[in-house]
Amino acid sequence: MKSLENSYSRRNFLKTGMGALGGLAGSFLAGSAWAQAMRMTTPRQTLGPFFPDEGDAVHEIRENLDFRLPISEANDNDLTHIKGHKGTAEGQVIHLEGQVLFRWQGEAKPQPGAVIILWNAAASGRYNHRGDREATRFKHPETGQWVERTHDEHFQYWGRCITDDDGRYSFKTVVPGFYPVDIENGWYRPPHLHFMVTAPGIPQLVTQLYFKGEAVPNNELIQKLNARDLILRDSALTREQQENLIVEYRRSESNPDVLTGNYDFMLSF
């Protein structure tokens, strides 16, 4: 295996647009529930290098054959299955739902018709992107076992949802795997979901959401990676803003094989 000879260029790419980065964070506060209750404006995070643009995918996935739509908007909100294909994605299935809200004159107003694009790595930690070529095999930071970052032919990798009249959205996907950015310095990106939220007349939001919860596989390791992640722990964000981006998942009462989480995207000028 190559020893991440390009890790620092990738590291800089991932950090583009983040602002200055401070030291590593310590222990967590109470979590995102407090921030959500206070209706905090959703913090921005870097787009990252793996947004699904035309020609970027290793395996092109386009469920909607209307080519007037960009490929990033051509798939539905269920990333665990590709229409017309047999099989389902590997990994822990999650269901994330909530609202898109807009802060106006001290009130949070639902945003119907907002377009949300979600993209994330497969359970192996691999993106369906030609730029994701580094460290396709690496040693687990705790067990020392080799981790294979393989493509999942049944995973959709990105999808779109348009909010309803109440500003509500939902996505079905899997918990993505973690992957190394800078092994020498112990930086592994924790499992995370990328979002782009677009609503008429409101600045576009690009952000990332992270995981916690006893039901989440490898939660103890994930919390260690969350605490050390230089993107989540961007020093330009307050601790409350950082915690706002971490979503707690629990087992679904109707289907214990699925984890459910809730997050409201709060937009503002």
Q: Name the burial class of residue 173, with classes exposed (0-12), middle (13-18) and buried (19+) by CB atoms within 10 angstroms of its CB.
A: buried
Q: pLDDT at position 38, please?
A: 54
Structure confidence by residue, pLDDT tens digits, 139-149 = 999 999 999 99
Among 94, 65, 59, 99, CA closest to 79: 94
Q: Record the pTM.
A: 0.87
Q: pLDDT at position 36, please?
A: 46
Q: CATH 2.60.130.10: does it fit domain 7-267?
A: yes
Q: Name the burial class of residue 3, with classes exposed (0-12), middle (13-18) and buried (19+) by CB atoms within 10 angstroms of its CB.
A: exposed
Domain regions of the chain by residue span:
7-267
Report the 10 Å Cβ neighbour count for 231.
21
pLDDT value at 32 more than 80: no
Mean of pLDDT values over 175-187: 97
Which positions ≥6 away from 5 have C-beta within 8 Å?
Answer: none
Cβ atoms of 217 and 138 closer than 8 Å: no
Strand 107-110 and strand 187-189: pairing? unpaired
Choose between 106 and 45: higher pLDDT: 45
Q: pLDDT at position 14, please?
A: 56
